[in-house]
Amino acid sequence: MCSLLRCSDPIVGMMNMCPVLSTPIDWKETPQAHCFFVDLPGLSKEDVKVEVDNGRVLKISGKWRAEEEELDVKWHRVERKRGDFCRNFRLPQNIKADQLKASMENGVLIVTVPKQEVKKPFSKGIQIEEK
C-alpha cells in the first residue's frame, strides 16, 4: 500500500504503523476478576488469538487483513488498521490462569481472568500452659 498516503496525517500514520497505539485496550479489576476489553473492529474470533504464557502473561494477538492492491486503483486516504498486532500484560499472582474466558461481540474482545479467593488471615488465641 502507498506509504505516502498512509502517513499523510502524522497521527494516523503513526497509529497504523505502531500496533500498540492502534489496539486500544481497557483493563478493569473487580472483586472477582480482571477484565480486558479490546476494540477489534472488522475482526472475527478466527483472526484473534488469546494465550497465557508462563501462567501469568496474557497475550492477545491477531491480524488485520489489507485489501489486495490493484494497479488501476488510486487510494485517496488509508486510515483503517492493517497488519499484525500483539499486546502482552503481566497478570497478578492471585489469578486462576486455567479458567480464563474470552468472547467477542460487535468487534469487542472481552477476556475475563478470574481471581483466586483471598484467604483472610485467621486469628486464634493460644492457651498458655503452666510448667
For residue 4, the model assigns a pLDDT of 40
Cell of 86: 500483539
Cα maximum dimension of the chain: 100
Identity at 33, one-letter amino acid code: A
CATH number of the 3-69+76-114 domain = 2.60.40.790
Q: Which candidate, 102, 19, 21, 100, places its Cα nearest to that of 53? A: 100
Helix (H, G, I), strand (E, B) or coil at 53: strand
Q: Kindly give the confidence (pLDDT) of every residue in the chain, 131 residues in length, as a single tens digit, with 9 standing for 90 and above.
A: 334 434 444 444 444 445 445 688 999 999 999 999 999 998 999 999 999 999 899 999 999 887 777 888 888 888 878 889 999 999 999 999 999 999 999 999 999 999 998 777 888 888 898 88
